[in-house]
Structure 1
Amino acid sequence: MTTARLADAHKHARDRLARAGIDTATLDARLLVEWVTGTDQLETIRNPGRQVDSETNARLEVVLNRRMNGESVHRIIGKRAFFDIELALSRETLEPRPDTEAIVELVLPFLRRRIQELGVADLLDLGTGTGAIALALLNHLQQLRAVGVDISTGALDTARENAHLNRVSERFACLHSDWYSTVTGVYDLIVSNPPYIRTADIEGLQREVVLHDPVRALDGGEDGLGPYRIIAAGARQYLREGGAVAVEIGFDQRADVAAIFAASDLVLEATKTDIGGHERALLFTAA
């Protein structure tokens, strides 16, 4: 394409992605065209004949090729929405998925009760990545403080950036740590979306995940349960009296994860399903 109308750019992008077998071609095309052209849906409706110059069309071809090569729309754009906030993405972080919002929904009532009782609450987010879970909770709870832990310094840089973007930096601290190795203090809630994919299953994941998400943030070991054992074994040492632990799990891991936490005298109190109806988040309290 050289110069084209805005409506033509949308059709061209949609057709290219559809021919490449991308199921979400219509949505992906709209998001990519809007990003490259600096427009939105309303502009497309109001001014479909707006001219898109050749330089912009060339940039569109580049991003369409990236999408067809397995890079997700949000990685191309470099950001995505998550539970009322917007997050910058990086190569060192997982792209937060809508399913992870289940853990935020699960723990909000617990944290609200703690804040009502104590006036303030402290959160430890193990494997914080982009900071998605902690920052979404900070955005909703003004009396919450959080520490985001990650073994990746690049991920911590991204989490700091996202805390600044969402104006919660004064209540969010980053800590470089291999799980609990450098953690100090006590917390009202420990939360984690740990790696939980079985090592043998990683190659079978979607291209967008296998090619672009960091493997270290996916690989939960031979049975996918290794990180849960670490989290459960150390949790009580870092929990304030009446505190709790919440974790995201794979769709078939409820019984195994509950048994791991029960062995550390942590009792399953509540669960939350994801948008597909699978139990995705579990909340444990001290026995």
Structure 2
Amino acid sequence: MRKITLLKQARERLFQAGIEDAAFEANLLLCWACGCTRMELLQRDIIPDGSVEKFQMAIQRRSAREPVAFIIGEQGFWTLDLHVSPETLIPRGDSETLLEALLHHRPDRQAVRSVLDLGTGTGCLLLAALTEYPQAWGLGVDVAPGAAALARRNARRNGLSERTAFVAGDWATAIRGQFDVVLSNPPYIEHADMAHLMPDVVEYEPHRALDGGDDGLVAYRILCRSLPHLLSETGCAVLELGVGQEKAVTALAEAAGLKVLECRKDLGGVGRALVLAFS
């Protein structure tokens, strides 16, 4: 089938399904179906039948608002390529703000020796941090066994298996010990707002990783109570925040005896990464 016809049909179907960047996503999925780069795709006119069938199935799934990352099975984050699955949230660029904040406040790449990631999901935050701190080892914790298994797989993919461990367990009870760095992207969507999320999110990504309770702060209360016991004396924590949560989470942290070093904004101007340490 001719590429130009195939892409035109796909763009129209995606646009009708409410996909804003239909042209870009159609090209991305065709590259995936053909197993080629965008440059290689430009040089092709005819798409073989096997790739056409794979592409059309992908377009059908995307038209049902399944995220592209779940269709192709992977997502880039920081300098990593990561496997993804419906067991976890898809890593997002906003979360890279946590790593930028961490590197600013802990610039000595040799000094950080231990990193804890609470609610590790794909392992994206932990694995990215370990690529920046070569002397560190890391522990990732997630309540879902499937998420811990996926993070373990991502550690293998990125050559970090020997410096990581992943366990399934509850944040409040699973961990003992102190760490130089604690990272977390907890569930922070207010329960009443869950129904208003994009269908790509609410219909496909795990609600346990999104729903932060009635006020969106349930996980932060647990984190702020736990951090004084988990941080080393000179350690720092970096927590991801939702829109408008800086003041409330700051109050929880200060009540637990922690000091806010910074609330770093993401590219959209949202206060996204709250950096905490001992007063």
Same-fold status (TM-score > 0.5): yes
- Whether 2:271 is the aligned partner of 1:279: answer yes
The one-letter code matched in structure 2 to 1:23 is E
Preserved contact between residue 186 and residue 240 of structure 1 (Cα < 8 Å): yes
Q: Percent identity?
A: 38
- After alignment, is 101-110 or 88-97 more displaced? 101-110
Equivalence for 1:20 = 17
Distance in 2 between residues matched to 1:102 and 1:171, nearest whole Å: 23
Structure 1 unaligned residues grouped into runs of 5+: none
Equivalence for 1:230 = 222
Equivalence for 1:58 = 53
Query: What is the Cα-based RMSD across aligned positions, in Å?
Result: 1.3
Secondary structure at 1:209's aligned position in 2? helix
Preserved contact between residue 94 and residue 129 of structure 1 (Cα < 8 Å): yes
Equivalence for 1:30 = 27
Distance in 2 between residues matched to 1:48 and 1:54, nearest whole Å: 14
Q: Which runs of at least 4 in structure 1 moved beyond 6 Å after TM superposition?
A: none
Per the TM alignment, residue 107 of structure 1 is displaced from its structure 2 partner at its CA by: 0.7
Equivalence for 1:96 = 91
Equivalence for 2:44 = 48
Distance in 2 between residues matched to 1:209 and 1:55, nearest whole Å: 30
- Deviation string 1:225-253 (CA, Å, 9 cap, x unpaired) is 01001000011112111111110000110
Secondary structure at 2:70's aligned position in 1? helix
Distance in 2 between residues matched to 1:30 and 1:169, nearest whole Å: 34
- Whether 2:2 is the aligned partner of 1:5: answer yes
- Whether 2:71 is the aligned partner of 1:76: answer yes
Equivalence for 1:186 = 178
Distance in 1 between residues matched to 2:248 and 2:18, nearest whole Å: 37
Alignment of 1:71-150 (within 5 A): 71-113=66-108, 115-116=109-110, 118=111, 120-150=112-142
Per the TM alignment, residue 41 of structure 1 is displaced from its structure 2 partner at its CA by: 1.1
Per the TM alignment, residue 158 of structure 1 is displaced from its structure 2 partner at its CA by: 0.4
Query: TM-score with structure 1 length normalisation?
Result: 0.93
Distance in 1 between residues matched to 2:156 and 2:166, nearest whole Å: 12
Query: TM-score with structure 2 length normalisation?
Result: 0.96
Per the TM alignment, residue 95 of structure 1 is displaced from its structure 2 partner at its CA by: 0.5
Match of 2:241 among 231, 245, 249: 249
Aligned residue-pair number: 279
